[in-house]
């Protein structure tokens, strides 16, 4: 396959964020601190990870950001919408993820970023009340207002390109319906104020209509409907979602594939969380919790493939709880109790106690999605970007394909996509070609290195 010619990332990249609370303010603060050399972008693959190229003996492993043409942190400019008019400084202070002392060096930069009035409707996020929101007779007109905001932001910020990532609250649970089936039905629904169209879909529609790549960090449907996938393909816009894969679910998609790989049976998995941030308050409403619960529950079935292994995974008990507990703020605590069984059905247990920080885990995911979606657009990719499943709890995939949940398969999918994009060989990790010539090693292996003598020498030194 011949590589795509990916144009360089020239000029500023505008990052538009509907929802400017804990995750957004932590992302922006971290980027501004990193630009000044005052923080490390830990957790971000685009900033820190290398990618292996070619055969193992070639020892080629450039940084991802040097291998593919990504925008630099210094090129990013931020904007967005919220129902609260708090600047990013005020939002960060309220969220309490980073301390005032940590944030002080970037106070000026954070104070300068103030949210635009949101498209909001309390029917979809019941535990919040808007202090600023757009008004219009129809949802179509609201979308037009967002499209105008996008164009204005591009002009005033001097951005060459834009990306949008939904970091807004989790909306109530909703199933896809007729109004979501086609672009025509969706636009009709916007004009007739269909209750099946929540604000997150209005932002997604506005982004895709404006040619702006869109990702959804929450579990609500947003762009995961046929109408918006169709519009994205038609307009050449990359999209991705849903729900950032940060703490407990990341651990699940590491551990469940390990159990399956070793053919250990699962009898039950009980997961509970306490958290006290605004996200926790929103999830205290049963409608929003249901959306999150669906997203968190789906990963185990998918990782374990119960249909193929009914004896091992056909009848396990799975429970997920999230409890709003204000004293903890953003410092979420997750417990998992896992009952498994092994040889001769003997029972065993695994316990995980993850004392994490929600927004600290989410911020680098948003940064990577921004940079990779911008890359995807320049590479000419459009529609669902399944190679970005790595970042999501409920990865969007073509309807006839089961989404991939295993974190390491997702990682391989992503790195191989980058290799393909740049015309490098896909790595299948079988390693057979190093030992069995008929499986074709394109280059003869060089003479082996004198390990023993070198080791002795370094010991003597």
Q: Which residues bind ligand NAD (CB under 6 A)?
A: 18-23, 81-84, 95, 118-120, 125, 128, 167-170, 199, 217-218, 243-244, 246, 277-279, 282, 358-359, 361-362
Please, what is the minimum distance in Å from the beta carbon of residue 93 to ligand NAD?
12
Relative orientation angle of helices 199-209 and 139-157, to the nearest 10 degrees:
50
**CA distance between the termini of the chain:** 48
What DSSP designation does 343 have? G
Q: How far is C-alpha 275 from the chain's CA centre?
A: 20
Which of 237, 362 has the CB closer to ligand NAD?
A: 362
Tokens found for residue 123: 């029917």
Return the residue nearest ligand NAD (CB atom). Answer: 21
Please, what is the minimum distance in Å from the beta carbon of residue 80 to ligand NAD?
8
Distance CA 170, CA 393 (A): 14
Please, what is the minimum distance in Å from the beta carbon of residue 27 to ligand NAD?
9
Which of 83, 221 has the CB closer to ligand NAD?
A: 83
Query: Looking at 248-361, which runs of residues are DSSP E strands?
Result: 265-275, 317-324, 333-341, 347-355
Alpha-carbon dihedral sign for residues 391, 118, 384, 6: negative
Which of 278, 419 has the CB closer to ligand NAD?
A: 278
Which of 274, 361 has the CB closer to ligand NAD?
A: 361
Distance CA 94, CA 326 (A): 13
Which of 203, 381 has the CB closer to ligand NAD?
A: 203
Which of 43, 54 has the CB closer to ligand NAD?
A: 43
Please, what is the minimum distance in Å from the beta carbon of residue 275 to ligand NAD?
9
Please, what is the minimum distance in Å from the beta carbon of residue 79 to ligand NAD?
12
Distance CA 236, CA 380 (A): 7
Q: Which of 108, 110, 12, 29 is nearest to 366 (CA)?
A: 29
Please, what is the minimum distance in Å from the beta carbon of residue 142 to ligand NAD?
10
Which of 119, 375 has the CB closer to ligand NAD?
A: 119
186, 179 contact by CB (below 8 A): yes
Which of 309, 335 has the CB closer to ligand NAD?
A: 335
Q: Which of 88, 105, 26 is nearest to 366 (CA)?
A: 26
451, 441 contact by CB (below 8 A): no
291, 385 contact by CB (below 8 A): no
Please, what is the minimum distance in Å from the beta carbon of residue 19 to ligand NAD?
3
* All residues at 6 or more sequence positions from 159 whose CB lies less than 8 Å from its CB, including other chains: 11, 12, 13, 14, 77, 153
Q: Could you give the angle at the alpha carbon of 97 between the alpha carbons of 95 and 99, nearest 5°?
A: 105
Please, what is the minimum distance in Å from the beta carbon of residue 141 to ligand NAD?
16
């Amino acid at each position: 396959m011949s590589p795509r010619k990916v144009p360089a990332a020239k000029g500023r990249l505008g990052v538009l964020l509907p929802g400017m609370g804990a995750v957004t303010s932590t992302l922006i603060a971290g980027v501004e601190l990193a630009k000044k050399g005052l923080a490390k972008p830990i957790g971000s693959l685009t900033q820190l990870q290398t990618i292996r190229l070619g055969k193992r003996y070639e020892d080629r492993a450039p940084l991802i950001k040097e291998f593919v043409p990504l925008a630099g942190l210094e090129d990013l400019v931020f904007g967005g919408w919220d129902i609260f008019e708090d600047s990013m400084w005020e939002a960060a202070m309220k969220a309490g993820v980073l301390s005032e002392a940590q944030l002080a060096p970037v106070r000026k930069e954070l104070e300068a970023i103030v949210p635009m009035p949101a498209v909001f409707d309390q029917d979809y996020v019941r535990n919040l009340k808007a202090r600023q929101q757009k008004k219009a007779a129809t949802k179509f007109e609201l979308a037009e207002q967002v499209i105008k905001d996008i164009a204005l932001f591009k002009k005033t910020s001097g951005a060459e390109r834009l990306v949008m990532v939904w970091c807004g609250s989790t909306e109530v649970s909703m199933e896809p319906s007729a109004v979501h089936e086609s672009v025509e039905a969706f636009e009709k629904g916007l004009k007739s104020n269909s209750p099946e169209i929540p604000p997150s879909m209005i932002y997604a529609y506005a982004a895709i209509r404006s040619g702006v790549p869109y990702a959804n960090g929450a579990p609500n449907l947003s762009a995961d409907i046929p109408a918006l996938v169709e519009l994205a393909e038609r307009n050449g816009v990359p999209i991705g979602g849903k729900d950032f894969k940060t703490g407990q679910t990341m651990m699940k998609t590491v551990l469940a594939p390990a159990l399956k790989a070793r053919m250990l049976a699962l009898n039950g998995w009980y997961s509970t969380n306490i958290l006290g941030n605004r996200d926790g308050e929103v999830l205290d409403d049963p409608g929003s919790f249901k959306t999150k619960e669906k997203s968190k529950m789906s990963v185990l079935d998918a990782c374990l493939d119960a249909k193929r292994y009914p004896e091992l995974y056909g009848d396990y008990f799975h429970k997920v709880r999230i409890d709003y507990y204000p004293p903890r703020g953003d410092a979420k605590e997750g417990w998992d109790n896992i009952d498994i069984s092994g040889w001769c059905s003997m029972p065993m247990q695994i316990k995980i106690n993850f004392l994490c920080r929600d927004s600290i885990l989410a911020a680098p995911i948003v940064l990577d999605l921004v940079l990779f979606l911008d890359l995807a657009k320049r590479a000419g990719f459009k529609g669902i970007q399944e190679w970005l499943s790595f970042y999501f709890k409920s990865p969007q995939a073509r309807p006839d394909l089961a989404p991939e949940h295993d974190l390491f398969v997702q990682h391989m999918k992503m790195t191989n996509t980058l290799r393909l994009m740049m015309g490098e060989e896909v790595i299948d990790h079988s390693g057979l070609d190093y030992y069995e010539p008929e499986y074709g090693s394109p280059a003869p292996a060089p003479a082996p290195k004198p390990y023993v003598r070198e080791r002795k020498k370094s010991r003597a030194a």
